[in-house]
């Protein structure tokens, strides 16, 4: 509030207006609500404190018959009622006394007008308790000896009010021969007896919210501190992601009990738009927001990431819209679907092998229920080329606990190139794999999953295609017996994945621990342990740094085709596929990824790694190999297609992959 110093009717009207504003502001900021048993509500309204009797509020009746109270209990009950009644009566009397003594705004204006220019001989404050008296006195700008002015009265009244310890105040004047004595009459706030917060859920406990407040029971109520505390409560909610939460109501009863009512912004439901193929339940089950609970921004972001990682949708837009109840909302999810089906066909002819054909069909969102299915079949006019079939089916939700299951069945003969560590071809062969794999995963937390997988695969040498070594020959029979055969194994895994996007991460980590135990009546007995760790950081507007470490070890001497293998796309670019083998391995990669154009992204990378036998660490660090290179990734309807050119110690290699490198 502010007054001009000119002596005019406008100034006097400003004084009256300011006094009304001051008292009106106190009414707007603080509302007292007495407990139900007191029957009294104390309210600031229109510059007056009003004691209003609450009518029509019936007390709850306990219909369960209780045991008769003893004399001590009756005495305590009577004493408590008497104390409560005394407090209520005192509050009524204080309000009545203040309203009876407080002059009207017109009377204050008239008195001040008559004394403008008089010398202030003394300034007093009446009604302030001892703990806040000096605070009010020190807030004054006017000093003894100053001339009384409208501006001075306005500033002093405002300063006293802004200390926060008073609900209402008004000045009175005593004219003496030497000048005037100014007395500010104040209505002091009470001592806080208790703080009660209602409307909050278990996610934001009352203890946590009260801890964020500076006011505590036993403190003198300060309006400014209380407003800051309400802002602090709001800040707690915002920091924890509850962006719609707000303080719905606040009151102080005549016992000094502060009551704060919170409205956390409840989610009432979902409205999913744009679905044509996908069932609505497939979208709803991925959401981390819960109907009937407060809307949390972090849950909305997590829900968006989960929907994105399904790779079913071209675009996803999630936004809150008004609900039915006040400060409640619904989530509107607007989706544009992408083509999730894939069909491939290939054919060829050679004089050696005759007709060669391949057909594959699959769908990542089979029948719109979120399942994944793929079938591949290849045929050759000769028994000397690739042929066979493979069937894969994955169901991501077997139950309400998000147990996922996958099964893979295959009987296929395929070409395999075997290289030595110099990158020279040992043999191009046909290998036949026949068997099945089945696995289950279940989340143990929002970002962590446990898995178990069983493999039953019979690997046999089928035929020789080319190369200096022909393992069909009798001298290789013992080698074939030791390295081809039936593998039966169980693999246990624990995965923690906080990546925001599994296809093109811009942040988060991926860590997987796995242990494979082979035996179970198969031809090979071994244990293999692997830890894989990848991290992603956004370093610019759209630039990403990606880093990976992977280490594997076995205490056993592994068969040739069960050894760890590195080389090629996904492990050590710039070298041939599976060029290096061992009972232990390490791979490291560092990439800098950046956008090129629209859905085209580029990368600069370096890979390094080694494979060795016997020990946890290699005997000779010359076993390590490294490469550098560049890559391009293009987003397509079937997923990202990645092409890398790597330069290693043996020259350049081009690598092609569907999906991200890591």
Q: What is the CATH number of the domain that holds 496?
A: 2.40.160.50
Dist. CA 222–CA 220, nearest whole Å: 6
Residue at 375 is within a domain: no
Residue at 70 is within a domain: no
Supply the pLDDT for residue 110. 87
161 lies in the same domain as 88: yes
Dist. CA 314–CA 322, nearest whole Å: 26
Dist. CA 315–CA 187, nearest whole Å: 60
Beta-bridge mates of residue 554: 528
604 lies in the same domain as 503: yes
Burial class (CB within 10 angstroms; exposed 0-12, middle 13-18, buried 19+) of 292 = exposed
Residue at 380 is within a domain: no
Q: What is the DSSP-derived secondary structure letter of residue 293?
A: S
456 lies in the same domain as 505: yes
442 lies in the same domain as 556: yes
Of the three residues 188, 222, 238, the one that is the final residue of a domain is 188
| Low-confidence residues of the chain: pLDDT under 50 | 1-84
Q: Which two tokens stand for residue 501?
A: 């996007």
249 lies in the same domain as 278: no
Supply the pLDDT for residue 523. 95
Of the three residues 337, 352, 387, the one that is the final residue of a domain is 337
Can you tell me whether residue 38 is helix, strand or coil? coil
Supply the pLDDT for residue 349. 57
Residue at 245 is within a domain: yes
237 lies in the same domain as 284: no
Q: Residue 199: give the domain boundaries.
A: 194-263
Centroid of chain to Cα 556: 43
End-to-end Cα distance, the chain: 64
How far is CA 294 from each of CA 208, 272, 324, 462, rounded to the nearest angstrom? 17, 19, 15, 62
Residue at 404 is within a domain: yes
Q: Which two tokens stand for residue 552?
A: 């594997």
Supply the pLDDT for residue 350. 53
Dist. CA 476–CA 474, nearest whole Å: 5
127 lies in the same domain as 225: no
| Contact by Cβ (8 Å): 630, 646 | no
Beta-bridge mates of residue 539: none
Q: Which residues contact 297 (CB under 8 A, 6 or more apart)?
A: 241, 242, 243
Q: Which residues contact 292 (CB under 8 A, 6 or more apart)?
A: 266, 267, 268
210 lies in the same domain as 175: no
| CATH number where 246 lies | 3.10.20.310
Helix, strand, coil in percent for the chain, rounding step 5: 20, 45, 35
Can you tell me whether residue 25 is helix, strand or coil? helix
| Contact by Cβ (8 Å): 553, 616 | yes
* Number of domains making up the chain: 4
Residue at 310 is within a domain: yes
Of the three residues 296, 313, 337, the one that is the final residue of a domain is 337
Supply the pLDDT for residue 96. 82
Reference 516, options 529, 503, 504, 507; nearest CA is: 529
Residue at 420 is within a domain: yes
Centroid of chain to Cα 638: 29
454 lies in the same domain as 426: yes
**Cα Rg of the chain, angstroms:** 40
Supply the pLDDT for residue 10. 36
Q: Give tens-digit pLDDT for 525-554.
A: 999 999 999 999 999 889 999 999 999 999
How far is CA 258 from each of CA 92, 193, 253, 644, rounded to the nearest angstrom? 18, 8, 7, 66
**Torsion angle of C-alpha atoms 87, 88, 91, 97, degrees rounded to 10:** -110
585 lies in the same domain as 551: yes
Reference 361, options 347, 348, 346, 349; nearest CA is: 346
Q: What is the DSSP-derived secondary structure letter of residue 525?
A: -
| Contact by Cβ (8 Å): 431, 413 | yes
Residue at 39 is within a domain: yes
DSSP string for 185-251: EEEEPPBP-EEEEES--TTS-HHHHHHT-S--TTSBP-HHHHHHHHHHHHHHHHHTT-TT-EEEEEE
Interhelix angle 150-162/9-29, rounded to 10 degrees, is 10
Question: 3-state SS string over 491-524?
Answer: EEEEEEECCCCCCCCCCEEEEEEEEEEECCCCCC
Supply the pLDDT for residue 77. 40
Supply the pLDDT for residue 657. 86
161 lies in the same domain as 229: no
| Contact by Cβ (8 Å): 657, 642 | yes
Q: Which residues contact 147 (CB under 8 A, 6 or more apart)?
A: 117, 118, 119, 120
CA angle 26–31–34, rounded 5-degree value? 145
182 lies in the same domain as 231: no
| Contact by Cβ (8 Å): 513, 491 | no
Q: Which residues contact 17 (CB under 8 A, 6 or more apart)?
A: none
């Amino acid at each position: 509030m502010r007054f001009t110093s000119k002596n005019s009717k406008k100034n006097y009207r400003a004084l009256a207006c300011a006094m009304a504003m001051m008292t009106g502001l106190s009414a707007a900021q603080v509302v007292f609500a007495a407990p139900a048993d007191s029957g009294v509500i104390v309210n600031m309204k229109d510059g007056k404190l009003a004691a209003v009797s609450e009518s029509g509020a019936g007390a709850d009746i306990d219909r369960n018959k209780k045991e008769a109270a003893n004399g001590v209990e009756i005495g305590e009950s009577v004493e408590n009622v008497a104390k409560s009644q005394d407090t209520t009566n005192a509050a009524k009397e204080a309000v009545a006394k203040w309203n009876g003594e407080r002059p009207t705004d017109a009377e204050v204006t008239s008195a001040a007008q008559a004394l403008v220019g008089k010398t202030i001989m003394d300034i007093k404050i009446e009604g302030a308790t001892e703990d806040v008296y000096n605070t009010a006195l020190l807030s004054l700008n006017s000093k003894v000896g100053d001339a009384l002015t409208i501006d001075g009265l306005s500033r002093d009244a405002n300063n006293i009010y802004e200390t926060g310890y008073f609900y209402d105040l008004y000045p009175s004047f005593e004219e003496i021969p030497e000048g005037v004595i100014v007395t500010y009459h104040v209505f002091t706030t009470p001592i806080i007896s208790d703080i009660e917060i209602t409307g909050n859920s278990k996610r934001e406990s009352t203890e946590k919210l009260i801890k964020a407040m500076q006011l505590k029971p036993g403190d003198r109520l300060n309006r400014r501190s209380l407003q800051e505390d309400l802002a602090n409560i709001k800040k707690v909610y915002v920091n924890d992601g509850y962006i719609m939460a707000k303080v719905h109501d606040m009151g102080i009863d005549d016992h000094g009990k502060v009551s704060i009512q919170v409205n956390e912004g409840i989610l009432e439901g979902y409205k999913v738009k744009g679905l044509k193929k996908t069932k609505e339940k497939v979208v709803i089950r991925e959401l981390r927001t819960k109907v009937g609970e407060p809307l949390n921004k972090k849950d909305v972001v997590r829900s968006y990431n989960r929907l994105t990682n399904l790779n079913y949708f071209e675009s996803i837009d999630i936004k809150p819209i008004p609900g039915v109840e006040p400060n409640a909302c619904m989530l509107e999810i607007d989706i544009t679907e992408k083509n999730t089906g894939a069909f491939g066909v290939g054919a060829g002819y050679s004089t050696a092998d005759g007709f060669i054909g391949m057909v594959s069909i699959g769908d990542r969102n089979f029948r719109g229920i979120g399942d994944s299915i793929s079938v591949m079949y290849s045929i050759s006019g000769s028994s000397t080329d690739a042929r066979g079939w493979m069937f894969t089916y994955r169901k991501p939700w077997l139950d309400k606990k998000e147990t996922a299951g996958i099964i893979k069945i295959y009987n296929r003969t395929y070409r395999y190139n075997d290289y030595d560590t110099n990158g020279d071809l040992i043999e191009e062969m046909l290998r036949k794999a026949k068997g099945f794999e089945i696995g289950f995963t279940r989340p143990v937390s929002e970002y962590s999953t446990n898995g178990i997988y069983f493999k039953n695969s019979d690997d046999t040498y089928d035929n020789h295609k080319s190369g200096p070594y022909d393992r069909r020959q009798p001298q290789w029979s013992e080698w074939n017996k030791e390295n081809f055969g039936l593998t039966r194994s169980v693999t246990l895994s624990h995965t923690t994945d906080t990546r925001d996007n599994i296809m093109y991460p811009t942040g988060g980590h991926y860590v997987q621990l796995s242990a494979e135990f082979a035996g179970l009546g198969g031809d090979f007995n071994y244990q293999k342990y692997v830890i894989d760790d990848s991290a992603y950081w956004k370093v610019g507007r759209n630039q990403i740094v990606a880093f990976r470490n992977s280490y594997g070890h076995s205490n056993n001497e592994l068969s040739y085709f069960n050894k760890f293998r590195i080389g090629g796309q996904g492990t050590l670019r710039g070298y041939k596929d599976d060029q290096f083998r061992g009972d232990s391995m390490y791979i490291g990669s560092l990439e800098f990824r950046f956008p090129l154009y629209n859905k085209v992204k580029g990368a600069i990378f370096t890979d390094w790694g080694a494979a060795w036998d016997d020990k946890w660490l290699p005997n000779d660090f010359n076993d390590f190999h490294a490469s550098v290179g560049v890559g391009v990734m293009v987003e397509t309807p079937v997923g990202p297609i990645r092409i890398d050119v790597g330069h290693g110690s043996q020259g350049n290699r081009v690598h092609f992959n569907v999906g991200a490198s890591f």
